[in-house]
Structures are given as C-alpha cells and as structure tokens.
Amino acid sequence: MRTIARFAVRHRWYVIAAWVALIIAAQALAAAAGGAAYKDVFTLPHTQTQTVLDLLRSHGQAGQTGQTGTIVVHARTGTLNPSQAPAGLVPALEGLCADGIHVATVTGPWGAFLCRDGVAVPVLPPAGEPIPAHNPLLSTDDSVGIISVGWQGGENALQNFLGVHDRIAPLANASTEYEFTGGAFGNLAAQQQGGIPPEAFGFLAALIILALVFRSAGATLLPLLSAAAALGSGLGVLALITHVMDVATFAPQLASLMVIGVGVDYALFIVTRHRRNLMRGMTMEESIAVAVNTSGRAVLFAGATVCVAILGLCALGVSFLYGVAVGTAVAVALTMVASLTLLPAALALLGHRVLPRRVRRAVRAGTYVYDEHRTRWAWWSELVASHRILLGAAAAGVIVVLAIPFFSMRLGHADEASDPAGTTTRKGYDLIAQAPGFGKGYTSVLELVVSGPGASDRGYLTSVAETLAREPDVNPASIRPVPLGPDLVLLTFKSVSSPQEAATTDLVKRLRSDLAPQVSAGTTNTVYVFGQTAIMIDFSKVLADKMWLFFVAIIGLSFLLLMIAFRSVLIPLSAAVMNLFAAGASFGVLVAIFQWGWFSEALGIGAGGPIDAFLPVLFFAVLFGLSMDYQVFLVSRMHEEWVHTRDNRRSIRVGQAETGGIITAAALIMIAVFGGFLLGDARVVKMVGLGLGGAIFIDAFVLRTVLVPAVMHALGASNWWYPAWLDRITPRVSVEPAEDDDQDRTGQDPTGRGAADLTRV
C-alpha cells in the first residue's frame, strides 16, 4: 500500500490524467455501443411461470411473453365518442409500429392492430361474432377509454416504453387527458421526476457536511472529486455491461447511490488520517503514505466486504439480479481504486491546503500542537464503558421495538395504487378504478394456460370456463379464450380485487392447488395459472428457496474476511449478529411506512402495499456491506490499540473516541445521499432511499455508538480470542500495519485518562 501511495504522490499528474482518460474512454465506448440498454428480464427455473414462458416460445408465441402497458384516455369535459377517437390519436398509435420501439399489438376502443414489418395491420373481429351493446374498452358512462399496448417478447428496454409515452402524451389538451399505467409504464415515475436529481442532492448534502467537518475548501472537495471520478467511470462501465448481460432498469440508480455514499466515506477516512498526520508533524509524502497504508487498508477491506455482499445476490439464482450485482460491484471496486490512487495524487497536489488556514500556518511554522484530549467522543466512550449494561439494554430495546413490524411483512408486487398521487401511473390507475364498469380489478389480468392434445376442444374449454366462473374472486364476465394452437389455449380473466391485494394472491394459490388439478383430472391436458400476480408468487418462492445460500454466502465470506483481518472469532460473529439486528429494524420501518401506510402522505409515498419481493434481499446485501464499513473502521482502531496495550477497556475507548466523530460524519453523508432518493416519484426508489438511510442511521447512532462498544466491554478480553490452531492455518493480513502504528501514535489517550485508570474494568 505504501508503494501505491508513493507512486501516486510522485507521479500525481500521470495518475490524474489516467483517471480522466478512463472516464472519457468508458463514456465514449458506451456511446459507441449505442448507449445503455437496461431491461428487466428474468427467468424463474422450476416454476409454473417459467414452464408457461417456455411453452409460449416453443409454440411461436414469444410475443405473448412481452410487456404490456395501458394508456388511459379521459374526457376532461363531456364524454368520449365511441365511434371516433380523439383528434390525432389513431395516426399516433399506428405510427408506433414504424418507430423502432418494438410494439407488437395495440387494442383500444377505436380498433386494434398488429405491427408487422413496421406497418399497422388492422385486426377485424371474427365473422359472425355478435357486436356488444357497449364497447367493453369504454367505461359505461363513456368518460374513460382503455388502450392496451403490447411489446414483442424480450424487448424490455426502458426506451421502448418511454417511446410510446413520448409519442402519445403530447396529444393531451384541454378536453382530453392521457395517462399511462400498468406493467411496462411502471418506471415512468422514476424517469419523470422533477426538481433536483437524487444524485445531485446527495452531492450537495455531502458538500455541506464535509465543509462543516473539514473547514477547508480543498479537503471538502477532494472526497467529492474521488466519488465523481468513480461515478463517471462506473456508470460508463455499467452501460457497457448492459450489452454483455441483462441489467435491470434500477441498476444505475443503485450504483450511483452506492458510489456516492461509499466513495465520499472512503475518501473521508483517508483525508482525515492524512490531516491528523500533518498536524503531528509528518512530511507530505510520508503523511499520505501512512494514511493510505492504514486507513487505505481499512478501505480495501471494507470495499471488498461490500463487493462480496453485493455479489451474494448471484447466489439467489435469479437472472434479474445478476446484472445489478455485477454492475454495482464493479462500480464499488472503481470507488476503492479511486480512493487509493486518485485521492493520494490529489492530496499531493493540494499540499497543506487540505488543512484549515489557521492550522496550516501553525503546522508550517512548527508551532502547532496536536491535542485530542477530552473530546466529546472521549467523554461518550467513557460513559459507555461505565454504563455498558444500561446503555446496551436500552439500545437493544430500541432495535427490538423497531423490528416488530418486520414480522408482518407481506411480499408481493405493489401495483399503481401505491404510487404517489401526482404520478401518471397513479392517476391512470385511479381513473380506471373509479370509472363505472371497470373497477380496481380491471388491471388484475390472470390466465389459465391449457396445454395438451385436447386443449382446443370447445366442450372442454366451456367446462373449464364455467368452473372458473364459480370462483368467488373471479369476474365471470371477463373470461375469454385465446387460442394459440390446437394444443395450447389461454383463458384470460380478471380478479375482483387489485393485483397487489392479498385476495388476488390467495386466488392464484387456490386455482393452482384446487382448480387446475380438478379440471386436468382424467384428461390429457395440463392447466397452469399465469399472470402478474402468479409471476410474483413464483418469484418470491424462488428467492425463499435460495435464501439460505444467500445468507451463507454473504455472512460466511464476510465473517472469514473479518476473522482473518482482526485475528478474532467473537468480533466477526458479533458484527454479523449486529448487522442482522440493523436489517430487522430497518425492515420494520419499511413495513410500517410502505405496507401499513404510516406517515405515507407526509413522505409523498402513496397508499400502503406489499413490499416488492426482491427488495429485502437487495437491502440486506447493500446494508450488510455498508455496515461492515463502519465495523472495519471502528474495530481496526481498537485492534491497533489492543496490539500495543493488550488492554481491552482502553482499546475500545480509544477506538471509539478517535473514530466516533468521523464515523458519525460519514453516516450523515450516507444518510443524506440515500435521503435524496426520497425526492424521486417512484415507490421503489423511495423505498431504497428510506430503507437504507434509516438502516445507516440505526447502524451508526444505535449500534456502533452504543450497542457494539457496550457488548465489547461486556465480553472483555474474549473479544480478541483466537484459537492457536486457527491462527496457524489462516493467512496473516493486517488492516492496521504495525510498522505504521509507531509513526502514527503519540502515546496519548484521547479520553484523557491515565494508564492506571485505563486498566480498570
């Protein structure tokens, strides 16, 4: 690490130029490849969903697996004309076929057509089919019309969905309103948020906090420079990854959130150590080398833990998360590299301007005396040591109370009813739900998929439809057969309840366990249940089946990293337990706000709904990695003191006194960065921001500030127990190298207590 730091210092301009070239190259290559191609694609092996998808593809019906969305046409005044579409609408819809956005079908009150070779081909009703008295795609009062848009199977790129919106939305006028909701349009809220972008808000908040901490313009800007470089190169690389593997549409937001948060934090720790070294009289080059060789090692371990945690998502076996995990891990790795190369070069370029002006003058004159006695954190560390049982019990009580709602978590997929009130997706949903003749179940489309030699038998299909119509939660009038071949037929229908309601989930489970076996018995046919709710049920099951492997991968690898780094068994074990506590508490907050609806109006979240099935595992991976950051920085200083004194009480107090302030500042920055995502309109983005921001608050201000040191005081010297046989077989890797400690220590106890007093337990 010293070698890397000295190289960056002595060749600072080359290092800076290399980073500029990397950013330009990543962005240029991404642009040359056609830009980012984010898409939401996933497979669910060994589920009914995957079986149906494979059946549709094998019968040449891949288009049936494509995304769908709903355009809601609303008459602001008067009613819609059933025989004539609003001005300009039909040409605009037909033009969707020729615009390269992979639209496959359009069905509305004023006609339907298929897209073939860029041309809209009208679909006429079968000869002899009776004409309904009222158009089923218009509400009974003719105030609302519904247009269903379907895309080709596999064409799930976000720009395809935005393309339809951007071509139809401009048709709105004083008499006609157009809203977009359902399925493919679910991400429009995230793309159309107004005001300050979350990333910009995060940078602004970090700037303010860093200015208060460092009181130096140079020191304030350096962490932001490091994070910006990692963000610029990371997003370029992530865009390139989208051309190699499928990457979900929320990946760039998650990667940005992680890079800004950990990038600023990592730089903060290194810059703080460097400033302290300068105040103690070290030369510029030696100060940077020592900072990188000490705090830089902690950054390396912390970053590796974050990457391990994120890549643990791959253990779930869901392709939907592979690209997210790989892309985010690459971005975090670039953040580490920037902290260990670009930051030292920038520190060397800045020189003593990294210090406040008054301190800078004193250091140069050789009159500055570094004194960290009697800080607020020194007082707090002594208070925790003296009242460890009381404070530890209080902190544990807070965690338990916050975690209570977690035990009532309901996984699923929140539909547009849970979107913020001002979004187009929510307005479209409300128009449908409130329109006479439609209702909230109109968007809850389900399918019975009949496969087998007798699938197209009219008598058999009639019998299945009659059995289905007797189900209490099925809308009988919505049942419609869609033949896809002699041995494959879909029976589409709608539930009475909305897609996110528990009643719809129960209906799907009941159809699978009771109705499907009943109507298949004694026939050569097999019946499957398909649709949005069915997909989410299968998705949740796949996650649940692999959850044990996910936890073993993340917790096990992180445990090994910390065990080897600190030569301790109890420290990594307690860290894992503490992180589980933090996760439980943060999940409890999420359930209370997003599922129960507490404070939802004040936060602009929308109505309560189920927690998206993929979010808990994503949260846990991110949270576990970030929590380990603070654990590494806190315990590395304690371990450094333990190596020199073998005094557990002193080690904990000194470690907390010297790192408490900087961990708190780092946590505030991370909370501000995550909090910026509450400014977005998309529910899932708000959930990520609030969930992770709340988790970091709990971790930094309850766990690391109170519970962790209290438990370590209670465990005593057992914290550092490490079996001799394990010591012999594990590699020796030190987070805080001993050779630097002698140069970086003053022999002072920042708590201001004497050695004799420090030995008291």
pLDDT tens digits for range 233-260: 999 999 999 888 888 887 887 888 888 8
Taking each helix axis from N to C end, the angle separating 12-32 and 217-241, rounded to the nearest 10 degrees, works out to 30
Is the distance from CB of 413 to CB of 532 less than 8 angstroms?
yes
Tell me the β-bridge partners of 145. Answer: 73, 138
Cα–Cα distance for residue pair 450/529, rounded to 1 Å: 9
Q: Alpha helices, DSSP H only, in 280-340?
A: 284-311, 319-337
CATH number of 439-536: 3.40.50.1820, 3.40.1190.20, 3.40.225.10, 3.30.70.1430?
A: 3.30.70.1430
Cα–Cα distance for residue pair 157/235, rounded to 1 Å: 17
Is the distance from CB of 264 to CB of 662 less than 8 angstroms?
no
Model pLDDT for residues 450-465, shown as the tens digit of each residue: 999 988 898 999 999 9
Cα–Cα distance for residue pair 213/354, rounded to 1 Å: 12
Architecture (CATH level 2) of domain 372-407+567-735: Up-down Bundle (1.20)
Q: Do domains 66-125+132-191 and 439-536 have the same CATH topology?
A: yes
Cα–Cα distance for residue pair 578/582, rounded to 1 Å: 6
> Which positions ≥6 away from 235 have C-beta within 8 Å?
26, 27, 252, 255, 256, 331
Cα–Cα distance for residue pair 534/541, rounded to 1 Å: 11
Residue ranges, the chain, pLDDT below 70: 61-66, 125-131, 153-157, 186-199, 367-375, 601, 680-682, 734-761
Question: Could you write out the DSSP letters of every residue in 717-751?
Answer: GGGG---HHHHHHS----SS-HHHHHHH--S--TT
> Which positions ≥6 away from 696 have C-beta within 8 Å?
623, 626, 667, 670, 671, 674
Would you tell me how many other CB atoms lie within 10 Å of the CB of residue 555? 21
pTM for the complete prediction? Answer: 0.79
In the chain, where the domains are located: 1-35+197-370, 66-125+132-191, 372-407+567-735, 439-536
> Nearest Cα to 245, choosing from 329, 302, 122?
329
Tell me the β-bridge partners of 667. Answer: none
Cα–Cα distance for residue pair 622/311, rounded to 1 Å: 10
How would you classify the pairing of strands 68-75 and 103-108? Answer: unpaired
Tell me the β-bridge partners of 531. Answer: 446
Does domain 1-35+197-370 fall into CATH 1.25.40.80? Answer: no
Cα–Cα distance for residue pair 662/297, rounded to 1 Å: 17
Is the distance from CB of 288 to CB of 7 less than 8 angstroms?
no
Q: Span 66-125+132-191: which CATH code?
A: 3.30.70
* Per-residue pLDDT at 127: 58
Cα–Cα distance for residue pair 416/430, rounded to 1 Å: 9
CA 696 from chain centre, in angstroms, equals: 14
Between the two ends of the chain, the Cα-to-Cα distance in Å is 37
Tell me the β-bridge partners of 392. Answer: none
* Per-residue pLDDT at 619: 85
| Three-state secondary-structure class, residue 3 | helix
